[in-house]
Amino acid sequence: MLLPIPFFIFRNMNANLFALFESRFPADRSACCIETHDGLYYSWDDLDRATAKMANLLAALKLPEGARVAVQVEKSPEALFLYLATLRAGYIYLPLNTAYQEAEIDYFVGNAEPAVVVCSSANFGWVSKVAFRHGTKHVFTLDDDRSGSLLSRAAAQPDRFATVARGADELAAILYTSGTTGRSKGAMLTHGNLASNAKTLHAYWGWRSDDVLLHMLPIFHVHGLFVASHGALLAGAKMIWAPKLDMAQILKFLPRCTVMMGVPTYYVRMVQEPRFDDDTCRRMRLFVSGSAPLLMETFDAFRERTGHTILERYGMSETVMLVSNPYDAQDGERIGGTVGKALPGVSVRVVDGDGKPCAAGEIGNVEVRGPNVFKGYWRMPEKTQEEFTADGWFKTGDVGRFGGAIVSQAGERKVPDDYLTIVGRSKDLIISGGYNVYPKEIESFIDEMPGVAESAVIGVPHADFGEAVVAVVVGKPGASLDALSLIGGLKGRIANFKVPKRVHVVDELPRNTMGKVQKNVLRQQFGVL
C-alpha cells in the first residue's frame, strides 16, 4: 500500500531551475566552471557567490511578484550570472538581441513592462529614456569587461542567498520571437519547461561531468542560453567561453573540448579553414548544429574532413528542443538533411490542412506537445488559443514530413519513417497557379547544381499565377553563374510550376544573428518580376 506523501515534503520541494542546477554543481566548488577566451577562470564557487550577490541586489529593490528583468548586453560570464541570479531571486528573465535598435526596444519594454532593464554603458542614454518612459524604475549597465553599475551595486551585497521557491508552472523566462510577420510575440517559458528539456538533453546527448563545452553562441537566444549553457550547468561541466565565432580561437581551444554547438555558418567556416582537421577534434565527442538548415555539402564535407558526423536537431523559442538526430548509434544513425526523431517525452505529428495525419513522405504542418511546450504568448490570450489545437497540440508554423527521401549529390536516400525533415515555414509556402510549392524542396535541387554555394526561394506576386517562384542564389568562390542556365538545369528535374520564373545571383544572403536567411528582406528586394 502506498502511503501519502506528507505535506511538508511538497512544501519544501523547489522547482526553481536554479535549484536544479545548484544540485548538480560538482563537489569541488573550486573547479573551473568557465574559462574565458582572454584567460580568466571562474570557479563554481565564483558562480554561486556572484549569482547570490546579484540576487540579493534584485531582492533589495523590492520588486513586485512576477517582475520581469529585461537584458540587452554583450556576451560575458557576468551576463550569464545575471540570468541565473534572476532565476534564483524568483523573477522572470527577458533576453533581448544585441542587434535591436531603439524602436524595437521601445516595443519590447512597452509590451513586457519590466521592473528592471540592464543594458550596455554605450546604450544607456537612449535605453534609459525608453525604459523610464514606460515606467521602469531601475536601469543598470553591464559591459563585457566586468564593469557597469550592476556589478558596482551588487559588489556590496552578501554572497549568500537562499534560492527562492518556485513552482514548475511559474514563469522563468519570456523570449520574443523574431517577428518577421507582424509584431513579435513573447513566448512564456516556465521553470518546468526549461528543466524538463535540460534533463532530456542531458540524457539523450550523453552529457558528462568531465565534458568541456566550447561556447561561442550568443546568449540572448534558445541555442546559446538554454541548450548549450543549460547542458553544461546540469552536467557540472566546464565551459570555454568565447564572445563569438573566431577561427583562431576554435583552433586554440577545440583540442581541449569535447562538445561544441553552432549554427551552420560555424561549420562552413571550419571546413573552409585549411588548418582545421581531425587532430583539432581529437577530444571531441559531439558537434551539434541548429537554428538554421545545414547544407548537405557542409554535412558531408565536415564528416570527410574530421571523421565526425554533425548532429542536427530542431527546436523553437516556444518549445526549446523537440527533435534530434541520435547521439547513440544504437538509437539510429545521424542523417543529413533531417532533424531526427522526437525527443523522449515529446510528441510530434505532421497533419494536413484538415488536421488529419499525413502518411510517411507526405508534407504537412508540424504540431507538437510535451512538458517543454511553452505556457502561451505574453498578454496575447487570443493568439495563444489560435496557435493550439482543440486537443492541445502546438502549431509550430513549420512544414515538414516524416520519412520520404533526401536528395543529394550522392543520389536519393530513403529516410526512416520516424525521422522528421523540415521543409520550411508555413508562411514561406508559395501557392502558384493553385499548386503548393515548398521552397526547401527547390532549394535542395539548386544547392546541388555546379557552382552554387546556397540558395533561397521566395514567392512574389504574379498577375496570372497569384504567386511566382523566384530564386536568389549565391555562387561558390570563382564560379560564374548564369541565371538562364540555372533555370534550364531545373527543367525536366522538377515540375514546371516549381521551376523559378526568375533567378537572381547575389554575393550573399541576408541573415539574422542566428544564421537564418531573412526571406522577408529578400521579398522586399526581389518582390517584383
What is the spatial distance between Cα 500 and Cα 487, in angstroms, rounded to a whole number? 7
pLDDT at 262: 94
* Cell 518546468 belongs to residue: 192
With 90 as the cut, is the pLDDT of residue 427 above it? Answer: no
Classified as helix, coil or strand, 196 is: helix
pLDDT at residue number 6:
44
The pLDDT of residue 181 is: 45
Q: Which triple of cell numbers denotes residue 237? A: 561541466
Residues written for the chain: 529
Report pLDDT digits (tens) over 441-450.
Answer: 889 889 989 9
pLDDT for 36-55, tens place per residue?
Answer: 999 999 999 999 999 999 99
pLDDT in the model for residue 13: 78
- Asked if residues 229 and 219 have their Cβ atoms less than 8 Å apart, the reply is yes
Around Cβ 238, how many Cβ atoms within 10 Å? 24
Mean pLDDT of 179-205: 89
Question: Do the beta carbons of residue 310 and residue 289 sit within 8 Å?
Answer: yes
pLDDT of 3 over the 60 cut: no
- Report pLDDT digits (tens) over 314-348: 999 999 999 999 999 999 999 999 999 999 999 99
From 448, 426, 444, select the one nearest 436 (Cα to Cα). 426
Choice between 227 and 264, residue whose per-residue pLDDT is larger: 227
Domains, in order of start, for the chain: 429-526 (3.30.300.30)
Sheet with 341-342: list strands edge to edge.
41-43, 32-36, 238-241, 212-215, 259-262, 286-289, 311-316, 320-324, 341-342
Q: How many helices (H) and strands (E) does the chain have?
A: 16, 27
408 or 440: which carries more pLDDT confidence? Answer: 440
Q: Could you tell me the sign of the dihedral formed by the alpha carbons of 517, 518, 523, 526, in that order?
A: negative
Bridge partners of residue 394, in order along the sequence: 368, 388
pLDDT at position 496 is 85
Q: Report the pLDDT averaged over residues 508-526.
A: 87
Q: Where are the alpha helices (DSSP H) in 273-413?
A: 296-306, 381-386
Percent share of the chain, pLDDT over 90: 78
Tell me the pLDDT tens digit for each residue of 201-227.
999 999 999 999 999 999 999 999 999
Q: pLDDT band for 34, please (50, 70, 90 cuts).
A: very high
The pLDDT of 111-139, averaged and rounded, is: 97
Q: Where are the beta strands (DSSP E) in 232-387?
A: 238-241, 259-262, 286-289, 311-316, 320-324, 341-342, 347-351, 364-369, 376-377
Which range, of 123-137, 138-152, 442-456, averages the lowest pLDDT?
442-456
Average pLDDT over residues 421-441: 82
The pTM assigned to this predicted structure is 0.87
| pLDDT interval class at 12 (50, 70, 90) | low
What's the pLDDT band for 492 if we cut at 50, 70, 90?
Answer: confident
The alpha carbon of 23 is separated from its chain's Cα centroid by a whole number of angstroms, namely 25
Confidence check: pLDDT of 249 > 70: yes
**In this predicted model, what pLDDT tens digit does every residue of 82-115 receive, in sequence order?**
999 999 999 999 999 888 888 889 999 999 999 9
pLDDT of the residue at 237:
98
Query: For the chain, what is the mean pLDDT?
Result: 92
Residues in Cβ contact with 508 at an 8 Å cutoff, skipping those fewer than 6 apart: 474
pLDDT range class, residue 183, cuts 50, 70, 90: confident
Give the range with max mean pLDDT: 277-291, 434-448, 487-501: 277-291
pLDDT over 70, % of the chain: 96
Region 415-442: what's the mean pLDDT? Answer: 85
